Structure 1
Amino acid sequence: MRYFGVFTAFFTVIFLAAGSVTVSAMRCGNRIVGEGDTKAEVLVKCGQPLLREYIGEDVEMEYGYGTYSKRIVEEWTYNFGPSKFMQILHFRGNKLIEIRNGDKGF
């Protein structure tokens, strides 16, 4: 009986964590995009996203060396239909840094 409680707790945590699963690649038809790809590569492989959102800016400064870096952070959402999850892509500058599963598509 004690094992049933542990088993239930374990799978409850797993199912709750699955709501925002991070993946390292996604399929667009017969092509695959992955972390490190550029915006241009993603556009060629997947076409225009359903939604493009400006998230903010990533600023990196080093006062001793005078280095200053400012990169735009964007979120693109792809909808592949009602039988699949939407895919949410995060870009920092021109590079794809994260792919997440979103809600069910429509």
Structure 2
Amino acid sequence: MNERCTSPAGQLGGIVRACVAAALLLVSTLHAGHVAAQSLNCGGGFFGVGDSKLAVLQRCGEPMFRQAVCIQRPQMAWAPSYHPGMPPQQVLVQQCVPMEEWTYHRGQGNFMGIARFHNDTLESARDGARAP
């Protein structure tokens, strides 16, 4: 009597493991795409999120355009309650985060490279419009 008996609970455990594995695969695939999109090539070198302004300047030189921008980001804040004696309420507000964008011309027919810095560190990198 060496038969394998699979209970409904055992089958459910296998389904859950398969779903978790599929979810992990999806997240890792999406994360890899996100990381690839967060770096730009300029002058034969790559720069990516976390690099300093100095590192980008050394690899890419001076940008053709620099611009201060205000990026709206959600921020938790405390607001007084409208009801006497009640504690303050947490609210979600949009806050302006000052950043700087550098635009690089990477040659005729290529996409512009746009680097966004926050506190002298590269926060994001993306392609802009195609250069004429």
Shorter chain as normaliser: what TM range?
Answer: 0.5 to 0.7
Secondary structure class of the residue paired with 1:91: strand
Shift of 1:57: 7.9
For 2:118 and 2:126, the matched residues in 1 are separated by 15
Matched, 1:43 2:57: yes
For 1:23 and 1:93, the matched residues in 2 are separated by 21
Question: Larger relative contact order (C-alpha < 8 A, sep ≥ 6)?
Answer: 1
Secondary structure class of the residue paired with 1:80: coil
TM-score normalised to structure 2 length: 0.51
How do 1:9-24 and structure 2 match up within 5 A? 23-24=37-38
Matched, 1:100 2:126: yes
TM-score normalised to structure 1 length: 0.62
Q: How many residues align?
A: 78
RMSD, aligned CA: 2.5
Matched, 1:25 2:39: yes
Deviation beyond 2 Å, 4+ runs, structure 1: none
Gaps of 5+ in 2: 1-35, 79-96
Larger Rg: 2
Give the number of the structure whose residues are more often strand, by fraction: 1
Question: Match of 1:46, as an amino acid?
Answer: C
For 2:67 and 2:122, the matched residues in 1 are separated by 14
